Amino acid sequence: MKSEVISTIYAETVARRNLPVNFQARDLVLFEGELARVIPSTQVLKFEDVLASPEGLLFKGTRILPESFAFPYHLDEWRFSSVVKFLATNYGLRRRRKIEGEALWITDYWSTGYFHWVTDVLTRLFVMRDRLRDLLLVLPGKYEQRDVVKACLKAFGVSEVDFVGADEVVEFRSLVMPSHTAPSGHFKDEAIRGVRDVLLNAYGDVDGEDERLYISRTGAGRRRIVNEDEVTSVLRKFGFETICAEDLSFEQQVAICSRARYIVSNHGAGLTNILFMKQGGSVLELRHESDCVNNCYFTMSSALDLNYLYQTCAPANPSADPHDAHLLVDVDQLQRNLTLLVGG
């Protein structure tokens, strides 16, 4: 089933990024794939007579739509048996509810994560902001109780949302969907800056004093800093305050990070909050020494005109997956990087 292209919002562009402020030639392999990246056009698509499951998958007949995923190839990873089970559940066990009016869909299968909600979903909401009064926003039911979702929709002035319940399938007569403004982990500058402006206007504290923040992952199940006591001891010498993002409301995270001139953290959802920093601020990401895939905060810094610095760190367990491994930070190197970060 093919969708109808209603309009094109952004033409295809090429995002070009400068190397990190403290770039070392030996680390070129980490960044070289992101220095110039094609950002496809953003189009508004229209589908007719499609169904949505509570998990957030769109389908029609026996076909799950590739637009349900952050990357279409993710559909290819589904086993045949999984597709059969999905179709049997949604056609045989769940009740069907119709929405006759024109509806708006902006999520994909990855959208529940904090980073993906803020950067992938809200950019799609941003490009449709002028049509929010005409379209009924529909979201999977799992978003209904999430405080970050409520706060973000309030900031965008969305007052009515229809949530797909856990025991139902929603049938759309006409469904409008903007394509992603950029592949996940990449950014169309206008869109991500637009999201920043909306959220800062709602919850930012742009007149606050410059702050130095360390965002800790001490409560996370993966990618923790194993020698964090040593790390925070060094950071305190440079005037950094430690926060745990999960202990704060979304509104508090926006307010605190909007006052920040400098943010340090290891790779993880908390670094998404660099979105709210002062323009011209500086970011230091502590990252796995071999990870050349997860560059989303490098690319975000570029899109937001932030200074990006990095420090490669050895994994505590060399056999662990780089995306999950706990890290060991060289504190002497950290001190040198912090000196460069804050300029003295």
- The pLDDT tens digits for 89-111 are 999 999 999 999 999 999 999 89
Residue 72's pLDDT band, with cuts at 50, 70 and 90, is confident
Statement to judge: residues 236 and 320 lie in one domain? yes
DSSP 120: I
Statement to judge: residues 251 and 195 lie in one domain? no
CATH code for position 250 = 3.40.50.360
Please report how the helices 147-155 and 250-258 are oriented relative to each other, as an axis angle in degrees rounded to 10.
60
DSSP 248: S
Number of domains in the chain: 2
Statement to judge: residues 67 and 185 lie in one domain? yes
| pLDDT value at residue 344 | 55
Residue at 29 is within a domain: no
Q: Which of 140, 166, 201 is the last residue of a domain?
A: 201
Q: Which of 201, 232, 249 is the last residue of a domain?
A: 201
CA 186/CA 189 separation, integer angstroms: 9
Statement to judge: residues 244 and 130 lie in one domain? no
| pLDDT value at residue 76 | 83
Q: Are 280 and 206 in contact (CB under 8 A)?
A: no
Helix (H), strand (E), coil (C) string for 315-333: ECCCCCCCCCCCEECCHHH
Residue at 26 is within a domain: no
User: How many other C-beta atoms lie within 10 A of the C-beta of residue 283?
Assistant: 25
Q: Are 276 and 252 in contact (CB under 8 A)?
A: no
Q: Is the pLDDT of residue 335 over 70?
A: yes
Query: Which of 108-112, 216-220, 251-255 has the largest mean confidence?
Result: 251-255
Residue 11's pLDDT band, with cuts at 50, 70 and 90, is very high
Statement to judge: residues 249 and 143 lie in one domain? no
Q: Which of 201, 228, 253 is the last residue of a domain?
A: 201
Statement to judge: residues 175 and 77 lie in one domain? yes
Query: Which of 80-89, 95-104, 210-219 has the largest mean confidence?
Result: 95-104
Statement to judge: residues 251 and 283 lie in one domain? yes
Q: What is the mean pLDDT of residues 37-55?
A: 96
| pLDDT value at residue 202 | 97
137: left (phi over 0), alpha (psi -120 to 50) or beta: beta
Contacts of residue 145, defined as CB under 8 A and 6 or more positions apart, other chains included, come to none
Contacts of residue 68, defined as CB under 8 A and 6 or more positions apart, other chains included, come to 56, 57, 58, 59, 75, 108, 109
Please give the C-alpha separations between residue 35 and each of 26, 120, 186, 253, 259, in angstroms, as whole numbers.
16, 20, 11, 30, 29
Residue 1's pLDDT band, with cuts at 50, 70 and 90, is low
Residue at 37 is within a domain: no
Q: Is the pLDDT of residue 65 over 70?
A: yes
| Distance, first Cα to last Cα, the chain | 59
Statement to judge: residues 327 and 235 lie in one domain? yes
Residue 2's pLDDT band, with cuts at 50, 70 and 90, is low
Residue 173, domain extent: 43-201
- Dihedral sign for Cα atoms in the order 79, 84, 88, 91: positive
Average pLDDT, the chain: 93
pLDDT in tens, 113-135: 999 999 999 999 999 999 999 99
CA 267/CA 247 separation, integer angstroms: 18
Q: Are 306 and 274 in contact (CB under 8 A)?
A: yes
| pLDDT value at residue 325 | 87
CA dihedral of 294, 297, 300, 302, whole degrees rounded to 10 = -100
Statement to judge: residues 167 and 58 lie in one domain? yes
Statement to judge: residues 182 and 224 lie in one domain? no
Q: Give the residue among 249, 320, 245 at the shortest CA–CA distance from 289.
A: 320
Statement to judge: residues 183 and 69 lie in one domain? yes
Q: Is the pLDDT of residue 167 over 90?
A: yes
User: How many other C-beta atoms lie within 10 A of the C-beta of residue 311?
Assistant: 21
